Amino acid sequence: MIRSFAFAILMMIPLIPALAQPEKDVDGSKDHPLFSRMPGYYLSQYETKDFDVYTTAYLTGGDAQWEGNRTSIEYTRMTGSKEVSMVQIARNYQNAIKKIGGQILHSDDRIVVGKIMKAGAITWVEVSAFNDGRDYQLVIVEPKPMEQEVVADAAALSQSIASTGKAVIYGIYFDTGKSVLKPESDPTLEQITKLLKQEPQLQLYVIGHTDNDGKLDFNLKLSADRASAVVKALVGRGINASRLASAGVASYCPAATNKTEEGKAKNRRVELVARN
């Protein structure tokens, strides 16, 4: 009898460390700036990727696949904390998305999917509760500059023009419906300037492109004004105006579909086209 009792105690010993594990946020994790967590929950899993593709099972068509910076957070209720239902978790996040101007695309008793428009870009949100509300996951995919912006230095621009006759630029920024260059455009403008100074024989057409939102006449003028603003900025950096010419083609030459927000973002661009 004593042996049996001792054996039973020994068998329980490996379980004690697991039961005694502190219920605290995993190392290196943090709440996403957009949302606070449900009270009484700790962050049990955390993953962030600089650029990733995430496909939600709750939407169809072009809106189902999201690209950009992905943050995945799983929350678990602390022992002894007040129990909440899955629908309570879902409704809390649904209200939070709406409060910051977001749109709800799917909602049921445990799932919420929404999108938040800001400065012409979309942040996607998916919340899914499970285990009767003991756990829930938050996935957020935020827009990230496309790869062309990352590699758009003078050398890459030169190589692209030499091989294809043009270079696509995504690092030029304007407010929606306006043609005033934003300060965030400076790094890209500096690289274009560097290219033109390194290759003094190079002459360029600067072509503005838009998506198909709004009226065509407006977009034609907008794209032309934006291209002209780029030329003016380059001239202000010491480039001879005779080497540059600007034009706007609105949505006549799309780089991607205009049926999704991601496609529209790719269509809003500036292209440098060799004149010689």
**What is the tens place of the pLDDT at every residue in 56-101?**
999 988 789 898 899 999 999 999 999 999 999 999 999 999 999 9
- What are 83's strand-pairing partners? none
**Distance separating alpha carbons of residues 147 and 168, to the nearest angstrom:** 11
CATH code for the domain defined by 147-274: 3.30.1330.60
Any residues with CB less than 8 A from the CB of 89 and at least 6 apart, and which?
Answer: 38, 110, 127, 129, 133, 136
Q: Is 83 left (phi over 0), alpha (psi -120 to 50) or beta?
A: beta
Q: What is the pLDDT of residues 258-269, one digit of tens each?
A: 888 778 888 999
pLDDT at 119: 64
Q: Which of 134-143, 163-172, 256-265 bottoms out in mean pLDDT, i.e. has the lowest?
A: 256-265
pLDDT at 22: 73
State the pTM of this model: 0.51
Asked if residue 123 lies in contact with residue 141, where contact means CB atoms within 8 angstroms, the answer is: yes
Cite the residue boundaries of each domain of the chain with CATH code 3.30.1330.60.
147-274
